[in-house]
Structure 1
Protein backbone atom coordinates (compact mmCIF):
# COMPACT_ATOMS: atom_id res chain seq x y z
CA UNK A 1 0.00 0.00 0.00
CA UNK A 2 1.20 3.53 -0.67
CA UNK A 3 2.86 4.84 2.53
CA UNK A 4 0.82 8.03 2.44
CA UNK A 5 -2.42 6.00 2.55
CA UNK A 6 -1.52 3.76 5.48
CA UNK A 7 -2.69 6.14 8.28
CA UNK A 8 -6.12 6.45 6.64
CA UNK A 9 -6.25 2.68 6.10
CA UNK A 10 -5.51 2.08 9.78
CA UNK A 11 -8.24 4.52 10.78
CA UNK A 12 -10.63 2.68 8.44
CA UNK A 13 -9.75 -0.59 10.18
CA UNK A 14 -10.34 0.89 13.64
CA UNK A 15 -13.63 2.50 12.62
CA UNK A 16 -14.89 -0.66 10.89
CA UNK A 17 -14.09 -2.83 13.91
CA UNK A 18 -15.77 -0.40 16.30
CA UNK A 19 -18.86 -0.17 14.10
CA UNK A 20 -19.04 -3.97 14.10
CA UNK A 21 -19.07 -4.01 17.91
CA UNK A 22 -15.43 -4.79 18.64
CA UNK A 23 -13.39 -2.80 21.14
CA UNK A 24 -10.59 -1.27 19.10
CA UNK A 25 -8.61 1.82 19.99
CA UNK A 26 -5.06 0.69 19.27
CA UNK A 27 -3.64 -0.60 15.98
CA UNK A 28 -0.35 -2.09 14.82
CA UNK A 29 0.45 -2.74 11.16
CA UNK A 30 1.98 -6.22 11.05
CA UNK A 31 2.20 -6.65 7.28
CA UNK A 32 2.36 -4.21 4.40
CA UNK A 33 2.31 -5.16 0.72
CA UNK A 34 -0.46 -4.39 -1.76
CA UNK A 35 -2.77 -4.34 1.26
CA UNK A 36 -2.09 -4.11 4.98
CA UNK A 37 -2.81 -6.40 7.92
CA UNK A 38 -3.51 -4.60 11.19
CA UNK A 39 -3.70 -6.04 14.70
CA UNK A 40 -6.47 -4.31 16.66
CA UNK A 41 -6.49 -4.12 20.46
CA UNK A 42 -7.97 -4.72 22.96
CA UNK A 43 -10.30 -6.86 20.81
CA UNK A 44 -7.23 -8.70 19.47
CA UNK A 45 -8.67 -8.97 15.98
CA UNK A 46 -6.92 -8.82 12.62
CA UNK A 47 -8.09 -6.36 9.98
CA UNK A 48 -7.11 -6.81 6.34
CA UNK A 49 -7.36 -3.52 4.50
CA UNK A 50 -7.25 -3.12 0.72
CA UNK A 51 -8.24 -0.29 -1.57
CA UNK A 52 -11.98 -0.22 -2.26
CA UNK A 53 -11.31 -0.96 -5.94
CA UNK A 54 -10.46 -4.48 -4.75
CA UNK A 55 -13.84 -4.96 -3.02
CA UNK A 56 -14.75 -7.94 -5.20
CA UNK A 57 -11.53 -9.73 -4.23
CA UNK A 58 -12.21 -9.06 -0.55
CA UNK A 59 -15.76 -10.42 -0.87
CA UNK A 60 -14.41 -13.53 -2.59
CA UNK A 61 -11.89 -14.06 0.22
CA UNK A 62 -14.61 -13.75 2.87
CA UNK A 63 -16.73 -16.37 1.08
CA UNK A 64 -13.74 -18.70 0.68
CA UNK A 65 -12.85 -18.27 4.35
CA UNK A 66 -16.41 -18.99 5.43
CA UNK A 67 -16.69 -22.12 3.26
CA UNK A 68 -13.29 -23.52 4.26
CA UNK A 69 -13.93 -22.97 7.97
CA UNK A 70 -17.18 -24.93 7.63
CA UNK A 71 -15.21 -27.70 5.88
CA UNK A 72 -12.69 -27.90 8.75
CA UNK A 73 -9.77 -26.62 6.69
CA UNK A 74 -6.53 -25.57 8.40
CA UNK A 75 -7.04 -21.88 7.63
CA UNK A 76 -7.17 -18.64 9.54
CA UNK A 77 -10.81 -17.92 10.32
CA UNK A 78 -12.98 -14.85 10.05
CA UNK A 79 -13.60 -13.20 13.42
CA UNK A 80 -16.58 -15.16 14.84
CA UNK A 81 -17.75 -12.16 16.88
CA UNK A 82 -18.82 -10.14 13.84
CA UNK A 83 -20.81 -10.62 10.64
CA UNK A 84 -18.62 -12.08 7.88
CA UNK A 85 -18.63 -9.28 5.32
CA UNK A 86 -16.62 -6.50 3.72
CA UNK A 87 -16.73 -3.08 5.39
CA UNK A 88 -16.33 -0.11 3.04
CA UNK A 89 -14.92 3.05 4.60
CA UNK A 90 -13.04 6.06 3.26
CA UNK A 91 -12.01 4.36 0.03
CA UNK A 92 -10.92 1.09 1.66
CA UNK A 93 -12.33 -2.45 1.88
CA UNK A 94 -11.89 -3.90 5.38
CA UNK A 95 -12.39 -7.50 6.50
CA UNK A 96 -12.09 -8.75 10.09
CA UNK A 97 -10.30 -11.98 10.96
CA UNK A 98 -9.04 -13.93 13.96
CA UNK A 99 -5.58 -12.83 15.10
CA UNK A 100 -3.10 -15.66 15.72
CA UNK A 101 0.12 -15.39 17.66
CA UNK A 102 2.90 -17.07 15.69
CA UNK A 103 5.10 -19.56 17.53
CA UNK A 104 8.84 -18.90 17.40
CA UNK A 105 9.71 -22.38 16.13
CA UNK A 106 9.56 -23.16 12.43
CA UNK A 107 7.33 -25.58 10.54
CA UNK A 108 9.13 -28.71 9.39
CA UNK A 109 8.72 -29.96 5.79
CA UNK A 110 6.64 -32.99 6.94
CA UNK A 111 4.36 -30.69 8.97
CA UNK A 112 4.06 -28.31 6.02
CA UNK A 113 3.17 -31.14 3.65
CA UNK A 114 0.63 -32.58 6.07
CA UNK A 115 -1.05 -29.18 6.47
CA UNK A 116 -1.19 -28.74 2.69
CA UNK A 117 -2.57 -32.24 2.27
CA UNK A 118 -5.31 -31.51 4.82
CA UNK A 119 -6.07 -28.23 3.09
CA UNK A 120 -6.43 -29.89 -0.29
CA UNK A 121 -8.56 -32.71 1.12
CA UNK A 122 -11.04 -30.23 2.59
CA UNK A 123 -10.93 -27.93 -0.43
CA UNK A 124 -11.78 -30.89 -2.63
CA UNK A 125 -15.12 -31.08 -0.82
CA UNK A 126 -15.99 -27.40 -1.37
CA UNK A 127 -18.13 -26.54 -4.38
CA UNK A 128 -17.85 -22.89 -5.36
CA UNK A 129 -17.05 -20.78 -8.40
CA UNK A 130 -13.40 -19.77 -8.47
CA UNK A 131 -10.94 -18.55 -11.11
CA UNK A 132 -8.81 -21.10 -12.96
CA UNK A 133 -5.05 -20.93 -12.48
CA UNK A 134 -4.82 -19.94 -16.15
CA UNK A 135 -6.80 -16.78 -15.30
CA UNK A 136 -3.96 -15.80 -12.98
CA UNK A 137 -1.49 -16.47 -15.78
CA UNK A 138 -3.59 -14.31 -18.10
CA UNK A 139 -3.38 -11.50 -15.55
CA UNK A 140 0.41 -11.70 -15.65
CA UNK A 141 0.41 -11.74 -19.47
CA UNK A 142 -1.83 -8.67 -19.50
CA UNK A 143 0.71 -6.89 -17.34
CA UNK A 144 3.51 -7.81 -19.75
CA UNK A 145 1.49 -6.38 -22.63
CA UNK A 146 1.13 -3.05 -20.82
CA UNK A 147 4.39 -1.16 -21.17
CA UNK A 148 2.98 1.80 -19.27
CA UNK A 149 2.61 -0.38 -16.17
CA UNK A 150 5.97 -2.14 -16.70
CA UNK A 151 8.26 0.63 -18.00
CA UNK A 152 11.47 -0.75 -16.47
CA UNK A 153 11.19 -4.23 -17.99
CA UNK A 154 13.54 -4.71 -20.96
CA UNK A 155 12.39 -6.18 -24.27
CA UNK A 156 14.43 -9.39 -24.01
CA UNK A 157 13.22 -10.11 -20.49
CA UNK A 158 9.64 -9.27 -21.47
CA UNK A 159 9.84 -11.75 -24.37
CA UNK A 160 11.32 -14.45 -22.11
CA UNK A 161 8.53 -14.05 -19.56
CA UNK A 162 5.85 -14.06 -22.26
CA UNK A 163 7.18 -17.21 -23.91
CA UNK A 164 7.60 -18.98 -20.58
CA UNK A 165 4.04 -18.18 -19.48
CA UNK A 166 2.58 -19.24 -22.83
CA UNK A 167 4.57 -22.43 -23.27
CA UNK A 168 4.25 -23.78 -19.74
CA UNK A 169 0.55 -22.95 -19.43
CA UNK A 170 -0.10 -24.90 -22.63
CA UNK A 171 2.02 -27.83 -21.45
CA UNK A 172 0.43 -28.00 -17.99
CA UNK A 173 -3.15 -27.84 -19.27
CA UNK A 174 -2.44 -30.44 -21.98
CA UNK A 175 -1.51 -33.01 -19.33
CA UNK A 176 -5.14 -33.34 -18.29
CA UNK A 177 -4.28 -33.64 -14.59
CA UNK A 178 -7.10 -33.78 -12.06
CA UNK A 179 -8.05 -30.31 -10.83
CA UNK A 180 -9.67 -28.94 -7.71
CA UNK A 181 -9.97 -25.81 -5.57
CA UNK A 182 -6.52 -24.59 -4.49
CA UNK A 183 -5.08 -21.95 -2.17
CA UNK A 184 -3.22 -20.38 -5.08
CA UNK A 185 -0.20 -19.09 -3.13
CA UNK A 186 0.52 -21.36 -0.13
CA UNK A 187 4.09 -20.09 0.26
CA UNK A 188 5.73 -19.85 3.73
CA UNK A 189 4.58 -16.25 4.16
CA UNK A 190 0.97 -17.47 4.01
CA UNK A 191 1.40 -20.29 6.55
CA UNK A 192 1.23 -19.43 10.25
CA UNK A 193 2.64 -21.64 12.99
CA UNK A 194 0.04 -21.33 15.74
CA UNK A 195 -0.84 -23.13 18.96
CA UNK A 196 -3.59 -24.95 17.07
CA UNK A 197 -1.16 -26.03 14.33
CA UNK A 198 -0.18 -24.66 10.92
CA UNK A 199 -2.86 -22.42 9.39
CA UNK A 200 -2.99 -21.01 5.87
CA UNK A 201 -4.03 -17.37 5.42
CA UNK A 202 -4.54 -14.87 2.57
CA UNK A 203 -7.26 -16.75 0.72
CA UNK A 204 -7.98 -14.20 -2.01
CA UNK A 205 -5.69 -16.13 -4.38
CA UNK A 206 -7.84 -19.29 -4.36
CA UNK A 207 -8.23 -20.81 -7.82
CA UNK A 208 -8.78 -24.16 -9.54
CA UNK A 209 -6.00 -26.30 -10.93
CA UNK A 210 -3.79 -29.35 -10.22
CA UNK A 211 -2.46 -29.66 -6.67
CA UNK A 212 1.06 -29.40 -8.09
CA UNK A 213 0.35 -25.71 -8.76
CA UNK A 214 -0.02 -25.20 -4.99
CA UNK A 215 2.89 -27.44 -4.06
CA UNK A 216 5.08 -25.38 -6.39
CA UNK A 217 4.77 -22.42 -3.99
CA UNK A 218 6.09 -24.38 -1.01
CA UNK A 219 9.80 -25.00 -0.27
CA UNK A 220 11.13 -27.78 -2.51
CA UNK A 221 11.66 -30.28 0.32
CA UNK A 222 7.92 -30.15 1.17
CA UNK A 223 7.09 -32.04 -2.04
CA UNK A 224 9.13 -35.00 -0.78
CA UNK A 225 6.51 -35.53 1.94
CA UNK A 226 3.40 -34.97 -0.21
CA UNK A 227 2.19 -38.31 -1.62
CA UNK A 228 1.42 -38.88 -5.28
CA UNK A 229 3.13 -35.79 -6.73
CA UNK A 230 3.67 -35.76 -10.51
CA UNK A 231 7.31 -34.65 -10.58
CA UNK A 232 7.34 -33.48 -14.21
CA UNK A 233 4.16 -31.47 -13.69
CA UNK A 234 5.61 -30.01 -10.48
CA UNK A 235 8.73 -28.80 -12.32
CA UNK A 236 6.58 -27.03 -14.89
CA UNK A 237 4.37 -25.50 -12.20
CA UNK A 238 7.37 -24.26 -10.23
CA UNK A 239 8.84 -22.62 -13.30
CA UNK A 240 5.49 -21.12 -14.29
CA UNK A 241 5.04 -19.77 -10.76
CA UNK A 242 8.50 -18.19 -10.89
CA UNK A 243 7.66 -16.48 -14.18
CA UNK A 244 4.38 -15.17 -12.74
CA UNK A 245 5.79 -13.70 -9.55
CA UNK A 246 8.69 -12.20 -11.48
CA UNK A 247 6.24 -10.48 -13.82
CA UNK A 248 4.23 -8.99 -10.94
CA UNK A 249 7.36 -7.48 -9.41
CA UNK A 250 7.83 -5.33 -12.56
CA UNK A 251 4.45 -3.62 -12.06
CA UNK A 252 5.18 0.03 -11.29
CA UNK A 253 2.35 -0.07 -8.73
CA UNK A 254 3.80 -3.10 -6.92
CA UNK A 255 4.22 -2.35 -3.22
CA UNK A 256 6.37 -5.31 -2.17
CA UNK A 257 9.54 -4.09 -0.43
CA UNK A 258 12.66 -4.63 -2.60
CA UNK A 259 10.37 -5.61 -5.47
CA UNK A 260 12.72 -4.54 -8.25
CA UNK A 261 15.69 -6.30 -6.65
CA UNK A 262 13.63 -9.47 -6.36
CA UNK A 263 12.49 -9.11 -9.98
CA UNK A 264 16.10 -9.09 -11.20
CA UNK A 265 17.09 -12.01 -8.97
CA UNK A 266 14.08 -14.08 -10.04
CA UNK A 267 14.77 -13.45 -13.72
CA UNK A 268 18.19 -15.00 -13.21
CA UNK A 269 16.64 -17.93 -11.31
CA UNK A 270 14.11 -18.40 -14.12
CA UNK A 271 16.83 -18.72 -16.75
CA UNK A 272 18.66 -21.18 -14.53
CA UNK A 273 15.50 -23.27 -14.02
CA UNK A 274 14.73 -23.37 -17.74
CA UNK A 275 18.26 -24.55 -18.50
CA UNK A 276 18.48 -27.04 -15.62
CA UNK A 277 15.21 -28.75 -16.48
CA UNK A 278 15.70 -28.38 -20.24
CA UNK A 279 12.35 -26.69 -20.67
CA UNK A 280 11.93 -25.48 -24.23
CA UNK A 281 9.88 -22.29 -24.26
CA UNK A 282 11.08 -21.10 -27.66
CA UNK A 283 13.83 -18.78 -26.48
Structure 2
Protein backbone atom coordinates (compact mmCIF):
# COMPACT_ATOMS: atom_id res chain seq x y z
CA UNK A 1 0.00 0.00 0.00
CA UNK A 2 1.21 3.53 -0.65
CA UNK A 3 1.89 5.76 2.40
CA UNK A 4 -1.48 7.54 2.41
CA UNK A 5 -3.43 4.27 2.11
CA UNK A 6 -1.16 2.56 4.63
CA UNK A 7 -1.93 5.16 7.28
CA UNK A 8 -5.67 4.66 6.83
CA UNK A 9 -5.23 0.87 6.93
CA UNK A 10 -3.26 1.02 10.19
CA UNK A 11 -5.91 3.22 11.78
CA UNK A 12 -8.69 0.90 10.56
CA UNK A 13 -6.94 -2.09 12.13
CA UNK A 14 -6.31 -0.27 15.41
CA UNK A 15 -9.85 1.07 15.68
CA UNK A 16 -11.48 -2.26 14.85
CA UNK A 17 -9.53 -4.14 17.51
CA UNK A 18 -10.12 -1.41 20.11
CA UNK A 19 -13.88 -1.41 19.52
CA UNK A 20 -13.89 -5.17 20.08
CA UNK A 21 -12.42 -4.69 23.55
CA UNK A 22 -8.76 -5.42 22.81
CA UNK A 23 -6.14 -3.08 24.26
CA UNK A 24 -4.24 -1.37 21.45
CA UNK A 25 -1.56 1.15 22.38
CA UNK A 26 0.70 0.56 19.39
CA UNK A 27 0.49 -0.89 15.88
CA UNK A 28 3.62 -2.15 14.11
CA UNK A 29 3.69 -2.94 10.39
CA UNK A 30 4.88 -6.53 9.96
CA UNK A 31 4.34 -6.71 6.19
CA UNK A 32 3.10 -4.25 3.59
CA UNK A 33 2.13 -5.28 0.06
CA UNK A 34 -1.33 -5.35 -1.53
CA UNK A 35 -2.55 -5.83 2.04
CA UNK A 36 -0.91 -5.05 5.33
CA UNK A 37 -0.22 -7.15 8.44
CA UNK A 38 -0.09 -5.31 11.77
CA UNK A 39 1.13 -6.44 15.16
CA UNK A 40 -1.16 -4.78 17.69
CA UNK A 41 0.24 -4.35 21.20
CA UNK A 42 -0.08 -5.01 24.06
CA UNK A 43 -3.02 -7.28 23.13
CA UNK A 44 -0.68 -9.36 20.93
CA UNK A 45 -2.99 -9.60 17.92
CA UNK A 46 -2.11 -9.75 14.23
CA UNK A 47 -4.51 -7.67 12.13
CA UNK A 48 -4.66 -8.40 8.41
CA UNK A 49 -6.02 -5.35 6.60
CA UNK A 50 -6.94 -5.48 2.91
CA UNK A 51 -8.68 -3.06 0.54
CA UNK A 52 -12.40 -3.75 0.37
CA UNK A 53 -11.96 -5.20 -3.12
CA UNK A 54 -10.36 -8.20 -1.39
CA UNK A 55 -13.32 -8.75 0.95
CA UNK A 56 -14.24 -12.11 -0.61
CA UNK A 57 -10.63 -13.33 -0.29
CA UNK A 58 -10.51 -12.27 3.37
CA UNK A 59 -13.80 -14.03 4.12
CA UNK A 60 -12.59 -17.17 2.36
CA UNK A 61 -9.36 -17.11 4.37
CA UNK A 62 -11.25 -16.83 7.67
CA UNK A 63 -13.50 -19.74 6.71
CA UNK A 64 -10.51 -21.90 5.72
CA UNK A 65 -8.74 -21.05 8.99
CA UNK A 66 -11.82 -21.86 11.06
CA UNK A 67 -12.27 -25.26 9.43
CA UNK A 68 -8.58 -26.15 9.56
CA UNK A 69 -8.42 -25.30 13.27
CA UNK A 70 -11.29 -27.76 13.82
CA UNK A 71 -9.27 -30.37 11.88
CA UNK A 72 -6.20 -29.77 14.10
CA UNK A 73 -4.13 -28.54 11.16
CA UNK A 74 -0.76 -26.80 11.72
CA UNK A 75 -2.04 -23.32 10.87
CA UNK A 76 -2.12 -19.92 12.53
CA UNK A 77 -5.33 -19.45 14.48
CA UNK A 78 -7.87 -16.68 14.46
CA UNK A 79 -7.91 -14.43 17.53
CA UNK A 80 -10.01 -16.37 20.08
CA UNK A 81 -11.19 -13.31 22.06
CA UNK A 82 -13.36 -11.98 19.22
CA UNK A 83 -15.90 -13.41 16.78
CA UNK A 84 -14.15 -15.23 13.88
CA UNK A 85 -15.23 -13.04 10.99
CA UNK A 86 -14.11 -10.21 8.71
CA UNK A 87 -14.84 -6.66 9.84
CA UNK A 88 -15.35 -3.78 7.41
CA UNK A 89 -14.16 -0.27 8.27
CA UNK A 90 -13.23 2.74 6.12
CA UNK A 91 -13.09 0.74 2.86
CA UNK A 92 -10.92 -1.99 4.40
CA UNK A 93 -11.56 -5.65 5.28
CA UNK A 94 -9.98 -6.54 8.63
CA UNK A 95 -9.44 -9.99 10.14
CA UNK A 96 -7.85 -10.59 13.54
CA UNK A 97 -5.42 -13.44 14.25
CA UNK A 98 -3.25 -14.80 17.03
CA UNK A 99 0.17 -13.15 16.96
CA UNK A 100 3.09 -15.59 17.11
CA UNK A 101 6.44 -14.21 18.19
CA UNK A 102 9.09 -15.40 15.71
CA UNK A 103 11.55 -18.11 16.72
CA UNK A 104 14.97 -17.69 15.16
CA UNK A 105 16.03 -21.17 14.13
CA UNK A 106 15.52 -22.29 10.51
CA UNK A 107 12.97 -25.02 9.77
CA UNK A 108 14.86 -28.14 8.68
CA UNK A 109 13.74 -29.88 5.45
CA UNK A 110 12.49 -32.97 7.30
CA UNK A 111 10.40 -30.81 9.67
CA UNK A 112 9.07 -28.82 6.70
CA UNK A 113 7.99 -32.06 5.00
CA UNK A 114 6.40 -33.37 8.21
CA UNK A 115 4.26 -30.26 8.63
CA UNK A 116 3.27 -30.57 4.95
CA UNK A 117 2.08 -34.14 5.56
CA UNK A 118 -0.01 -33.07 8.56
CA UNK A 119 -1.44 -30.09 6.70
CA UNK A 120 -2.34 -32.10 3.60
CA UNK A 121 -3.97 -34.79 5.74
CA UNK A 122 -6.13 -32.14 7.46
CA UNK A 123 -7.03 -30.56 4.12
CA UNK A 124 -8.21 -33.93 2.79
CA UNK A 125 -10.75 -34.06 5.62
CA UNK A 126 -12.38 -30.77 4.59
CA UNK A 127 -15.41 -30.44 2.34
CA UNK A 128 -14.61 -27.00 0.95
CA UNK A 129 -15.34 -25.39 -2.39
CA UNK A 130 -12.03 -23.99 -3.66
CA UNK A 131 -10.73 -23.08 -7.13
CA UNK A 132 -8.29 -25.28 -9.02
CA UNK A 133 -4.76 -23.92 -9.17
CA UNK A 134 -5.04 -23.73 -12.95
CA UNK A 135 -7.60 -20.93 -12.46
CA UNK A 136 -4.78 -18.91 -10.95
CA UNK A 137 -2.55 -19.84 -13.89
CA UNK A 138 -5.22 -18.58 -16.29
CA UNK A 139 -5.53 -15.30 -14.34
CA UNK A 140 -1.75 -14.78 -14.50
CA UNK A 141 -1.78 -15.50 -18.23
CA UNK A 142 -4.44 -12.82 -18.75
CA UNK A 143 -2.22 -10.30 -16.95
CA UNK A 144 0.79 -11.12 -19.12
CA UNK A 145 -1.20 -11.01 -22.35
CA UNK A 146 -2.67 -7.59 -21.46
CA UNK A 147 0.06 -5.26 -22.69
CA UNK A 148 -1.56 -2.26 -21.04
CA UNK A 149 -1.50 -3.88 -17.58
CA UNK A 150 2.09 -5.14 -17.99
CA UNK A 151 3.47 -2.44 -20.28
CA UNK A 152 7.09 -2.60 -18.98
CA UNK A 153 7.52 -6.30 -19.79
CA UNK A 154 9.69 -6.80 -22.88
CA UNK A 155 8.40 -8.82 -25.81
CA UNK A 156 11.02 -11.51 -25.23
CA UNK A 157 10.19 -11.90 -21.56
CA UNK A 158 6.45 -11.68 -22.22
CA UNK A 159 6.78 -14.62 -24.61
CA UNK A 160 8.77 -16.59 -22.01
CA UNK A 161 6.18 -16.13 -19.27
CA UNK A 162 3.18 -16.52 -21.57
CA UNK A 163 4.50 -19.73 -23.14
CA UNK A 164 5.33 -21.20 -19.72
CA UNK A 165 1.90 -20.42 -18.28
CA UNK A 166 0.05 -21.51 -21.41
CA UNK A 167 2.06 -24.64 -22.15
CA UNK A 168 2.49 -26.06 -18.66
CA UNK A 169 -0.91 -24.86 -17.44
CA UNK A 170 -2.71 -26.72 -20.21
CA UNK A 171 -0.80 -29.91 -19.40
CA UNK A 172 -2.33 -29.90 -15.90
CA UNK A 173 -5.92 -29.28 -16.97
CA UNK A 174 -6.73 -32.82 -18.17
CA UNK A 175 -5.74 -35.26 -15.40
CA UNK A 176 -7.07 -34.29 -11.96
CA UNK A 177 -7.40 -37.75 -10.46
CA UNK A 178 -4.78 -37.12 -7.76
CA UNK A 179 -5.92 -33.61 -6.83
CA UNK A 180 -6.83 -32.51 -3.32
CA UNK A 181 -7.13 -29.29 -1.31
CA UNK A 182 -3.79 -27.48 -0.99
CA UNK A 183 -2.38 -24.49 0.84
CA UNK A 184 -1.62 -22.87 -2.51
CA UNK A 185 1.47 -20.79 -1.65
CA UNK A 186 3.34 -22.56 1.18
CA UNK A 187 6.71 -20.88 0.53
CA UNK A 188 9.08 -20.30 3.50
CA UNK A 189 7.60 -16.84 4.11
CA UNK A 190 4.22 -18.48 4.80
CA UNK A 191 5.53 -21.06 7.28
CA UNK A 192 6.20 -19.50 10.69
CA UNK A 193 8.55 -21.10 13.16
CA UNK A 194 6.76 -20.63 16.49
CA UNK A 195 6.94 -22.01 20.01
CA UNK A 196 4.05 -24.28 19.00
CA UNK A 197 6.08 -25.59 16.07
CA UNK A 198 5.85 -24.64 12.38
CA UNK A 199 2.50 -23.08 11.39
CA UNK A 200 1.21 -22.13 7.95
CA UNK A 201 -0.22 -18.65 7.40
CA UNK A 202 -1.82 -16.79 4.46
CA UNK A 203 -4.62 -19.28 3.87
CA UNK A 204 -6.50 -17.27 1.23
CA UNK A 205 -4.54 -19.11 -1.47
CA UNK A 206 -6.20 -22.47 -0.67
CA UNK A 207 -6.92 -24.28 -3.95
CA UNK A 208 -7.12 -27.74 -5.51
CA UNK A 209 -4.33 -29.56 -7.29
CA UNK A 210 -1.61 -32.21 -6.80
CA UNK A 211 0.46 -32.04 -3.62
CA UNK A 212 3.49 -31.43 -5.85
CA UNK A 213 2.14 -27.93 -6.54
CA UNK A 214 2.53 -27.13 -2.83
CA UNK A 215 5.90 -28.87 -2.61
CA UNK A 216 7.21 -26.75 -5.49
CA UNK A 217 6.94 -23.66 -3.27
CA UNK A 218 9.25 -25.11 -0.62
CA UNK A 219 13.06 -25.40 -0.69
CA UNK A 220 14.11 -28.23 -3.01
CA UNK A 221 15.45 -30.40 -0.16
CA UNK A 222 11.97 -30.72 1.37
CA UNK A 223 10.55 -33.02 -1.32
CA UNK A 224 13.12 -35.71 -0.53
CA UNK A 225 11.37 -36.18 2.84
CA UNK A 226 7.81 -36.30 1.44
CA UNK A 227 6.87 -39.94 0.67
CA UNK A 228 5.63 -40.63 -2.85
CA UNK A 229 6.36 -37.18 -4.29
CA UNK A 230 6.75 -37.03 -8.09
CA UNK A 231 9.95 -35.02 -8.50
CA UNK A 232 9.49 -34.43 -12.23
CA UNK A 233 6.04 -32.99 -11.52
CA UNK A 234 7.54 -30.77 -8.81
CA UNK A 235 10.01 -29.32 -11.33
CA UNK A 236 7.17 -28.49 -13.75
CA UNK A 237 5.12 -26.94 -10.96
CA UNK A 238 8.11 -24.86 -9.88
CA UNK A 239 8.41 -23.41 -13.38
CA UNK A 240 4.70 -22.57 -13.31
CA UNK A 241 5.00 -20.98 -9.88
CA UNK A 242 7.81 -18.69 -10.93
CA UNK A 243 5.97 -17.78 -14.13
CA UNK A 244 2.91 -16.78 -12.07
CA UNK A 245 5.13 -14.90 -9.64
CA UNK A 246 6.65 -12.99 -12.57
CA UNK A 247 3.24 -12.22 -14.03
CA UNK A 248 2.17 -10.54 -10.77
CA UNK A 249 5.44 -8.60 -10.42
CA UNK A 250 5.14 -7.07 -13.89
CA UNK A 251 1.63 -5.75 -13.26
CA UNK A 252 1.60 -1.97 -13.46
CA UNK A 253 -0.03 -1.67 -10.02
CA UNK A 254 1.98 -4.37 -8.19
CA UNK A 255 3.05 -3.22 -4.73
CA UNK A 256 5.48 -5.92 -3.63
CA UNK A 257 8.45 -4.48 -1.71
CA UNK A 258 11.71 -4.45 -3.73
CA UNK A 259 9.68 -5.11 -6.88
CA UNK A 260 12.49 -4.17 -9.29
CA UNK A 261 14.74 -6.88 -7.88
CA UNK A 262 12.01 -9.52 -7.91
CA UNK A 263 11.01 -8.70 -11.49
CA UNK A 264 14.48 -9.69 -12.68
CA UNK A 265 14.90 -12.55 -10.22
CA UNK A 266 11.51 -14.05 -11.10
CA UNK A 267 12.35 -14.26 -14.79
CA UNK A 268 15.74 -15.81 -14.00
CA UNK A 269 13.99 -18.42 -11.82
CA UNK A 270 11.55 -19.24 -14.65
CA UNK A 271 14.45 -19.95 -17.02
CA UNK A 272 16.30 -22.04 -14.43
CA UNK A 273 13.17 -24.07 -13.63
CA UNK A 274 12.46 -24.72 -17.31
CA UNK A 275 16.03 -25.92 -17.82
CA UNK A 276 15.63 -28.21 -14.80
CA UNK A 277 12.55 -29.93 -16.26
CA UNK A 278 13.98 -30.08 -19.80
CA UNK A 279 11.85 -27.34 -21.33
CA UNK A 280 14.44 -24.58 -21.59
Moved more, 22-31 or 192-201: 22-31
| Alpha-carbon RMSD | 1.2
TM-score relative to the length of structure 1? 0.96
Rounded Cα–Cα distance in structure 2 between residues aligned with 1:273 and 1:217: 12
Rounded Cα–Cα distance in structure 1 between residues aligned with 2:111 and 2:275: 31
Aligned residues: 280
Partner residue, 1:240: 240
Go from structure 1 to structure 2 and tell me whether the alpha carbon gap of 1:59 and 1:215 turns closer, same or farther (over 3 Å shift): same
SS of the residue 1:29 aligns to: strand
Rounded Cα–Cα distance in structure 2 between residues aligned with 1:268 and 1:72: 38
CA apart distance, 1:89? 0.7
Moved more, 251-260 or 173-182: 173-182
Rounded Cα–Cα distance in structure 2 between residues aligned with 1:40 and 1:269: 36
SS of the residue 1:192 aligns to: strand
Rounded Cα–Cα distance in structure 2 between residues aligned with 1:3 and 1:222: 38
Rounded Cα–Cα distance in structure 2 between residues aligned with 1:184 and 1:86: 21
Moved more, 243-252 or 165-174: 165-174
Rounded Cα–Cα distance in structure 1 between residues aligned with 2:229 and 2:276: 20
Where do 1:239-258 residues align within 5 Å? 239-258=239-258
Partner residue, 1:211: 211
Rounded Cα–Cα distance in structure 2 between residues aligned with 1:275 and 1:97: 41
Partner residue, 2:103: 103
Which structure 2 residue ranges, 5 or more long, are not aligned?
Answer: none
Rounded Cα–Cα distance in structure 1 between residues aligned with 2:124 and 2:260: 36
Partner residue, 1:76: 76
CA apart distance, 1:234? 1.0
Where do 1:1-283 residues align within 5 Å? 1-279=1-279
Instruction: Tell me which stretches of 4 or more aligned residues in structure 1 moved more than 4 Å.
Output: none
Residues 239-279 of structure 1 deviation map (CA, whole Å, 9 limit, x = unaligned) = 11111101111012111112122111221232233234212
Which structure 1 residue ranges, 5 or more long, are not aligned?
Answer: none
Cα contact 2:182–2:207 (8 A) shared by 1: yes
Moved more, 269-278 or 9-18: 269-278
CA apart distance, 1:91? 1.2
Moved more, 45-54 or 252-261: 252-261
Cα contact 1:75–1:200 (8 A) shared by 2: yes
SS of the residue 2:173 aligns to: helix
